[in-house]
Structure 1
């Protein structure tokens, strides 16, 4: 099995003076109302944190029981918890996707098999590709880096007795209407969510797990005490309010419009976007992509290399969706360096 740098992420691409198209965090900072709520909680930092209120807010947001919610220090913590708490006989990760699930499983000593979706098929999920006896399966939806949104029916076709299906929905709130989500609850399904992407909170680490109560209890048993900070818990409560969800939907609609603008501009430049993107980023393949990425960096733009994702190579680049002015300037730079 080919080795990849599974711990390489978009933040390694950015640097001083570079326009960031490498990291999929849309807002440059949290909105003012969220910053105010976080600031108001500073005087409580002498006390040990509790995520009880945050769990209740998440449960209400998704119509789940509180014992089916585990608040985490970002969605990434959940991968480590799953790898630590479970003893899979045959673990499968569907690629290309976020690489931390595989990294966490390997770090915990588990063997991992890869199911690689084909670029020629638009990276569409085919449940038949997953071995029938796999008892732990990871898949992203929409998938990072392909931005493909798999139908809920295809995901549910992966469920079966004795199998745990983990669906990473870290970017699902960037899809208008959150279509194809499994967050409402299905037997044998674990859903991971993040607050990082929509609300500009990468540095705070805020996310959560939705799963059957037995699974949540197993994860809680291996979670480090007080791993969720007071500020992360405050942010979770704030971002689950109806007014926040309404704002998130507006942000998702705006991101969708900006993505279509980027896709159109890339097509006009002779750079087709791969798959059917539905998230706030797109995947492209450009001849001599590694060199193009370097020249874009020299021109002031950071983009995400694709060759650290299993199933992709050096000609693949992931581009974060930004506002139209940024996109126009980037497309001009891309034309000049190709």
Structure 2
């Protein structure tokens, strides 16, 4: 069963006094490697951005002398999700959206469902809000149980599909978290990597208090450009807009947003999602060759979470063998036995599994051989 906790010591702004480094993210695994490691730590799709998107962004540079005008991009996002323009806010990635939410709202009882992306909790704490954690159960595949969220919670944050567990929660189950007077924040940063976006709530306008966050940085390889958006009722969007600095999204970012929500781009994203599903199935099959390695739940995102006894040591050995994977002990609810692995093509997976085999067979020098 999910475990309710007080988070850290309940002190607003402590950022992880209970030992979880909420500000650690996957890019730290490869930031200073000089490009020599095969990156399985960051969940940006390999081989992106595509050439046509680079050309679109480059063409926007001629307009840099003018202040950004987000009207066309905002209207394009609204059309893509069948919403009025007043229900869309463009942001500098999903990370900015979490900060805006923490600034704009004053929750009495904020709940973050873990394990998940740690930035929502960090932003809430930095804004002075105490955070209550509901930790999902590994034995149950980290599946969401709406009953585990306290009834009096007035601000609830959930990822879907969830980073790092790769769990995809059915949309009707997620919608059961909604209540009058409650703000329900659903982070769908990886939803466009799910074929058909089958569990998305992005087009739902009948769920009270619903706020959906979307990112365009993962599928399109634009983490350095910082683009995303928020979908919510007009009242919520107005609150967030007042908390947002002027011109938060650059002109190149606006051009990229508009380009990434065209019908052709959506079709390309759907093809990419189908390819990810095939590559993930292959990765899971190869990981199944290890008797003492357990994959969490039923992965649905462009990454998988695995548990193995000596994960921390294996991660370091993998670096020596040329592969970076994401440590998972910075996620509340997980510990040193867990690693997150990004889905890549079959050839990369084969090379990774070969390295993993070597990493698992290498003994630490301080561990003596056992005599028979």
TM-score, reference length from structure 2: 0.90
- The worse-fitting range, judged by mean Cα deviation, of 181-190 and 300-309 is 181-190
* Secondary structure in structure 1 of the residue aligned to 2:324: strand
2:341 pairs with one of 292, 300, 319: 319
> Per-residue deviation at 1:154?
1.0
Partner of 1:253: 274
Query: Equivalents in 1 of 2:151, 2:49: separation in Å?
Result: 43
Matches within 5 A, 1:54-133: 54-133=73-152
> Per-residue deviation at 1:27?
2.7
- Asked if residue 167 in structure 1 is aligned to residue 189 in structure 2, the reply is no
Question: Does structure 2 retain, via aligned residues, the 8 Å contact 1:290–1:314?
Answer: yes
1:21 pairs with one of 40, 49, 54: 40
Query: Equivalents in 1 of 2:268, 2:87: separation in Å?
Result: 26
Partner of 2:235: 214
Partner of 1:158: 177
Question: Does structure 2 retain, via aligned residues, the 8 Å contact 1:41–1:234?
Answer: yes
2:310 pairs with one of 288, 292, 298: 288
> Per-residue deviation at 1:145?
0.1
Q: Which runs of 4+ in 1 moved over 3 A?
A: none
Root mean square deviation of aligned Cα: 0.7
* Secondary structure in structure 1 of the residue aligned to 2:353: helix
Question: Does structure 2 retain, via aligned residues, the 8 Å contact 1:6–1:103?
Answer: yes
Larger proportion of helix: 1
> Per-residue deviation at 1:23?
0.1
Question: Does structure 2 retain, via aligned residues, the 8 Å contact 1:27–1:199?
Answer: no
Partner of 2:321: 299
Partner of 1:204: 225
Query: Equivalents in 1 of 2:46, 2:71: separation in Å?
Result: 27
* Secondary structure in structure 1 of the residue aligned to 2:218: helix
* Secondary structure in structure 1 of the residue aligned to 2:295: coil
Matches within 5 A, 1:23-42: 23-42=42-61
Q: How many residues align?
A: 338
Query: Equivalents in 1 of 2:47, 2:130: separation in Å?
Result: 38
Query: Equivalents in 2 of 1:249, 1:272: separation in Å?
Result: 29
Partner of 2:14: none
Query: Equivalents in 1 of 2:120, 2:191: separation in Å?
Result: 17
Partner of 1:12: 28
- Asked if residue 331 in structure 1 is aligned to residue 353 in structure 2, the reply is yes
Give ranges in structure 2 of 5+ residues lacking alignment: 1-7, 9-17, 361-372
User: Residue by residue, what CA displacement relative to the aligned partner does 1:223-242 show, whole Å, maximum 9, x if unpaired?
Assistant: 01111000110000000000
User: Residue by residue, what CA displacement relative to the aligned partner does 1:151-183 show, whole Å, maximum 9, x if unpaired?
Assistant: 111111101111010000000000000001000
- The worse-fitting range, judged by mean Cα deviation, of 72-81 and 182-191 is 182-191
Question: Does structure 2 retain, via aligned residues, the 8 Å contact 1:72–1:209?
Answer: yes
Partner of 2:163: 144
Matches within 5 A, 1:164-203: 164-185=183-204, 186-203=207-224
> Per-residue deviation at 1:188?
1.1
